[in-house]
């Protein structure tokens, strides 16, 4: 039941995300975030399985010990999958940071005051994003979804600001 709910939430998020125009790095970041969410759910499920197996250990030690070992192996595998998914999410975020850096460099080449103001604002947003991206590995399971949403929203806002500044500079 829980997996069905998560799949529905992930599908809704992907559907809602499809309504927006995003470049390939944003799409890859969304896919990586979805994978990380699924891996997170798998870790949660495996933790519960290990805890349940440990509680039942007193009933039949030899059988239950084998179950515990199996569940522990699955938990370790799920944790490895989670780490891998978070690494892919971090890599996708760094690609978006690089694209944002390119936009900033293009704006820096402009000589008008509006472009200079936009560069200052974008640098601040970029630096905040970079700090958040560096903290991906330290995020706990409980607040991963909120953390991921915050990063995605910040990227969308910064990329929109960069596009707006580039459009103004072209006029």
- The pTM is what? 0.62
Q: Which two tokens stand for residue 105?
A: 């460099």
pLDDT of 102 reads 93
Q: Is-contact 100 126, C-beta < 8 A?
A: yes
Tell me the DSSP string of 110-134.
--SHHHHHHHHHHHHHHHHHHHHHH
C-alpha distances in angstroms, 10 versus 3, 7, 13, 159?
A: 10, 5, 5, 23
Q: Is the pLDDT of residue 98 over 90?
A: yes
pLDDT of 59 reads 62
Q: Is the pLDDT of residue 151 over 80?
A: yes
C-alpha distances in angstroms, 53 versus 80, 123, 132, 133?
A: 21, 51, 37, 36
pLDDT of 17 reads 55
What percent of the chain shows pLDDT beyond 90? 19
Mean pLDDT over 51-78 rounds to 78
pLDDT of 128 reads 92
């Amino acid at each position: 039941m829980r997996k069905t709910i998560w799949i529905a939430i992930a599908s809704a998020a992907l559907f809602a995300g499809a309504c927006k125009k995003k470049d390939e790095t944003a799409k890859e970041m969304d896919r990586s975030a979805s994978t990380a969410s699924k891996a997170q759910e798998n870790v949660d499920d495996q933790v519960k399985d290990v805890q349940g197996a440990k509680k039942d250990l007193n009933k039949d030690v030899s059988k239950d010990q084998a179950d515990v070992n199996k569940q522990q192996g699955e938990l370790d595998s799920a944790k490895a999958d989670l780490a891998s998914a978070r690494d892919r999410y971090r890599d996708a975020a760094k690609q978006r940071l690089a694209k944002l850096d390119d936009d900033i460099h293009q704006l820096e080449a402009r000589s008008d005051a509006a472009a200079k103001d936009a560069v200052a604002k974008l640098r601040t947003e970029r630096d905040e994003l970079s700090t958040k991206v560096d903290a991906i590995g330290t995020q706990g399971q409980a607040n991963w979804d909120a953390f991921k949403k915050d990063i995605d929203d910040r990227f969308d806002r910064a990329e929109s600001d960069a596009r707006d500044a580039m459009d103004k500079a072209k006029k």
